[in-house]
Amino acid sequence: MLIIPAIDIIDGKCVRLTQGDYAQKTVYNENPLEVAKAFEGAGLQRLHLVDLDGAKAGSVKNQQVLEAIAAGTKLVIDFGGGIKKEEDLKRVFDCGAAFATIGSLAVKNETLFAAWIQKYGADKFLLGADVKEEKIAVAGWLETTDIGIYPFLEKYIGYGLINVFCTDVSKDGKLEGPSIELYQNIIQRFPALQFIASGGVATVDDLHQLNAIGCSGAIVGKAFYEGRITLDELARINQSGNPKSVIH
């Protein structure tokens, strides 16, 4: 299983939220590039970079962080948050992202996202499915829809997307363990997905559980920043080899 550390950005700084609540923000490092270099130095190859300002504003705001990390490391980066227009999408790719993470747009503008998939290729996108009680949440988790996770995934599998990560917002940032049952159900229903778990990881045992149910990857954030899981432990669990061997 691929270990994918997360860096969430507000005002150019590395932060974490609890349950997606912007009022529950902790700043962990003023220099995201420094954090990214530490991940790379430990042997990790992927990075999940989230522009929380962009997610809230509806347009990319922290592309300079992406550009700095892409130039300063060899990490394979997926970048999300505020990608609503094609100019933002192009900027994200131009600044060095290997994958554009699309969440809210996939919910609110299927026609546009489908056109992007056709133009750029399904392998350039990571579909972000944020859920609360198995319903899709959007706008940086500020809004819950009536769309169920399973029909949502089925629709985009139909467009050729297989790279997906799912965050149970009720678990995110709380260090209470991931939503094993939800993720297991998704993997069993859609075995062709390259499925990445996100949210709630608190211990190394959580990562072993996610690996056991068949997750292709796991995003780790707060557990690392709070010292619950060390860099060495992340590196040991991380699969060796090409960082694109999971996310095609």
Catalytic residue positions? 8, 130
Rg (Cα) of the chain, in Å, rounded?
16
Cβ atoms of 156 and 195 closer than 8 Å:
no
